[in-house]
Amino acid sequence: MTDFELFEQVLQRGHACISIITHEERYAIEVVGQAAMNLRRDLWIWSVAGGVRDGLLEASPSISDTEDPAAGLENLAKAKPGTICVMLDLAEHLRRGGKPLRMLRDMINTFDKTGLTIILVDGTDTLPDVIKSHATPFELSYPDEKELSQIVRATIQTIHRKRPIDVGISRRGFDAIVRNLRGLTRRQAARIIRDTVMEDQSFKDDDINVILASKRRMIQRGGLLEYIQTPLSLDEIGGMQNLKKWLEERKDIAGAQAMAFGLEPPKGVLMLGVQGAGKSLCAKAIATAWQQPLLHMDPGNLYASYIGQSEGNLREALRQTEAMAPVVLWIDEIEKAFASAASHNVDGGLSQRMFGTLLTWLQEHTAPVFVVATANDIEALPPELLRKGRFDEIFFVDLPTPEVRREIFTIHLKKRCRRPDKFKLEELAQASEGYSGAEIEQSIVAGLYSAFADKAELDTDRIVAVLRSSPPLSVTLAERVQALRQWAKGRCVPAS
């Protein structure tokens, strides 16, 4: 069902107060207005900038002296029974308490007599709890590919009428552009198309690269998700043969053929292990191997000062992720974000509520979102996260074996334009015992700095010297690393 149909149903159920949290205010008013016309109900709209005006008449004049929130509410309270009253950005005024808050509560409490429906449209979820407890939340959906296609066509036609543009896009290119606009709001999608076309007054297949770059910047500006470029492949990660095999077997499960076979898309993996062992690299490589976008969610960015806003941010981030599916969602160091989830006393239960929201979504989401969660500290990880059903598998990424260390040296030497056969890989593998993949890479980087300073070439002896001068994390934190490896035995699948 469309937003228009769903909202009309909500109105018919007789809710006194409905809350819409969105940045698409114009679209929200369009949805409310269409429902009002279909149900033959009056519609009045209030804002602090214009006061009260008739929402069903285009360019209708405002009622004088109604800009103040209390004056606006007083005017709307006198509307005829059954009227729909839209309040724009009222939440901030309600948080100050006083007369507006009291008047709105009275209007809600007298709904049975007046039949007035209050629609609160705000950009952020900052309603006072006393209002939120009465308000029915209504979430506007992200546009699907059909609607996005209409938005792209309408935007191109509008631009073309003002100034002719060169439209030379193929059907395949058009579909690719529409597909990559998923997860954006209607306003954002139209803006990206407008900016792309206006740059050179053309709309062609190669505009997909400009659109992807614009989408990446737009998502990151929102602060909830980060769009990660993934030029990395699984071949650039040493070892982890068990993980690579597991991923290869599930590469094309999202298709109709797999569903007919009785398979569902995999939900994700939890990767535990020693810091620097390559867990984060795997998230990037999985997205490349499966040819899916990679979104990074830092739960720390979701926390906000207002009560309820943090949970709202998490729900919005997950909703946006689902709208962009199929996609890989990477949650790095998940234990740090929810370390206090076991206690109500640390932050008033906020972490626990956030963690509960995430757990429910991990268990129940049906969109093809593959989650890669990484963790370094098993003691800080809430035990509920390890329960079967949250993830398809839990992998343990251990320190690399001698064979894998040779492979890692080969990968990073090649990446820096060095021939591995010019180095004593066996000696390097022995000298780097106990080192993680990240530490091995840094030994090569440090060796390059040293060689450059001495105006010499990088060689085996220089890398060995770097390794001996800098002990690995497995030595400096030996007890913690050993405890982690001991815990993983029998509880996790070895990645290698």
Using an 8 Å Cβ cutoff, are 29 and 120 in contact?
Answer: no
- Region of 333 (left: φ > 0; alpha: ψ -120 to 50; beta: rest) is left
Going from the C-alpha of 30 to that of each of 7, 25, 85, 303, 361, the distances in angstroms are 11, 9, 14, 31, 30
Question: Strands across the sheet with 17-21, in order?
Answer: 62-63, 51-54, 43-47, 84-88, 117-122, 17-21, 136-137
The alpha carbon dihedral of 11, 13, 19, 20 has a sign of negative
Using an 8 Å Cβ cutoff, are 81 and 115 in contact?
Answer: yes
pLDDT for 255: 64
Write down the pTM of the prediction: 0.70
Which residues have CB under 8 Å from 77's CB, separation 6+? Answer: 103, 106, 107, 114, 116
pLDDT for 148: 94
pLDDT for 180: 84
CATH classification code of 234-397: 3.40.50.300
Burial class of residue 45 (count of CB atoms within 10 Å of its CB; 0-12, 13-18, 19+): buried
- How is domain 3-137 classified at the architecture level of CATH? 3-Layer(aba) Sandwich (3.40)
Pairing mode, if any, of strands 294-296 and 327-331? parallel
HEC readout, 294-351: EEECCHHHHCCCCCCHHHHHHHHHHHHHHHCCCEEEEECCHHHHCCCCCCCCCCCCHH
pLDDT for 58: 81
pLDDT in 10s for each residue of the chain, 496 residues = 899 999 999 999 999 999 999 999 999 999 999 999 999 999 999 999 999 999 998 888 999 999 999 999 999 999 999 999 999 999 999 988 889 999 999 999 999 899 999 999 999 888 999 999 999 999 999 999 999 999 999 999 999 999 898 988 999 889 988 988 988 899 999 999 999 998 889 999 888 888 888 888 888 777 788 888 766 677 777 888 888 888 888 877 766 777 788 888 888 898 888 888 888 888 888 887 787 888 898 877 777 656 567 788 888 889 888 888 888 899 988 877 665 554 544 556 777 788 888 888 888 888 888 999 988 877 777 777 777 778 888 888 888 899 999 999 999 999 999 999 999 999 999 999 999 988 999 999 999 999 999 999 999 999 999 999 989 988 888 888 888 888 888 888 888 8
* Beta bridge pairs of residue 120: 19, 87
DSSP state of 124: S
pLDDT for 134: 93
pLDDT for 231: 60
pLDDT for 305: 57
Picking from 275, 210, 209, 282, the residue whose alpha carbon sits closest to that of residue 243 is 282
Query: What are the domain boundaries of the chain?
Result: 3-137, 145-222, 234-397, 402-476
Picking from 401, 459, 411, the residue whose alpha carbon sits closest to that of residue 432 is 401
Q: Do domains 145-222 and 402-476 have the same CATH topology?
A: yes
CA 429 from centre of chain: 39
CATH classification code of 145-222: 1.10.8
Alpha helices by DSSP H, listed for 324-436, are 334-337, 350-364, 402-415, 425-431
- How is domain 402-476 classified at the architecture level of CATH? Orthogonal Bundle (1.10)
Which residues have CB under 8 Å from 468's CB, separation 6+? Answer: 431
pLDDT for 212: 81
pLDDT for 379: 73
